[in-house]
Structure 1
Amino acid sequence: MSTGIAKTIELYAAVHLTVIGLSHVLQPGAWVRFFLLLRAQGEIGAFVNGFMSLVFGAIIVAFHNIWEGSAIVLTLLGWAQIVKAAVNFLAPQAGLRSLNRVALDRAWEFHVGGAVLLVVAGWLVFRLAQGI
């Protein structure tokens, strides 16, 4: 069971994931154009992508590094974001390869990603409401 600051981080993550998830579902074309813009910037674009992951992941890892029970899900998400950031900062060409998948005819993939983020956000809200 997580308490104190960990619960605050769960709320932070729920808000973050809800906004980003809804945006992915409602504005997939804008996300495609955003990532195409990042890709066009080369290594600088990889760095911007890395900063987005680093901020979210570092906050989670710093204040919610819980390795037991269902709380581990958020911890793993935080560490995954740190790894993604590290790849973008330390090997930007590798980070750019992930952006090569982005295309306007694949904008529907943002619907899927957004739905996953909303499920995780809903699960976090459930945990908070239940006092888990």
Structure 2
Amino acid sequence: MERSVEVLAIILFGVLGLSHTLQPKAWAEFFILLRGKGEAGAFVDGFLNLPLGGVIVGFHNTWSGIPVVLTLVGWCLLIKGLIRFCAPKQALRMMARVSVERSWEFQVAGAALVVLAGLLGYGVYAG
């Protein structure tokens, strides 16, 4: 099961990373739209983070080697989802920094996701 979760993460992080890198303005507009929906928008963001975090934490409890990176990311996603659902006003404050003018920040995050996917891919297929 752990390998399946790793392959899922490679695919998701790779696609999302490329999308963030190639379409930063669209991602900024998406989060501005969510922010505009208020606490319900924070919940939508929670629905995007909590399931993947739950899958990773529930089925990939690995604490050694390269896979530990995915376990840590899973805990971060789980905590992010928890904040979105239990403290939506705080989540909205975090979303307040998003703007079209700062959409380049999505490219930085996207590059990090692509690197993460590559690292996990190396661990799965070469390690």
| Structure 2 SS opposite 1:69 | coil
Q: Give 1:20-99 correspondences, 5 Å limit.
A: 20-99=16-95
Secondary structure at the residue paired with 1:67? coil
Structure 1 unaligned residues grouped into runs of 5+? none
Residue matched to 1:12 = 8
How far is the alpha carbon of 1:79 from its aligned partner? 0.4
| Cα deviation, residue 61, structure 1 | 0.8
Matched residue, 2:116: 120
Tell me whether 100-109 or 68-77 shows the greater mean CA deviation. Answer: 68-77
1:8-30 per-residue CA deviation (whole Å, 9 max, x = no partner) reads 11000000001100000010010
RMSD between aligned residues? 0.8
- What TM-score, normalized to structure 2? 0.97
Scaled by the length of structure 1, the TM-score of the pair is: 0.94
Q: Which runs of 5+ in 2 are unaligned?
A: none
For residue 70 of structure 1, report the CA deviation from its aligned partner. Answer: 2.5
> Percent identity at matched positions?
47
2:105 corresponds to 1:109: yes
Structure 2: distance between partners of 1:124 and 1:66: 13
What is the alpha-carbon distance in structure 2 between the residues aligned to residue 48 and residue 78 of structure 1?
18
Separation (CA, whole Å) in 2 of partners of 1:126 and 1:85: 28
The AA in structure 1 aligned to 2:53 is G
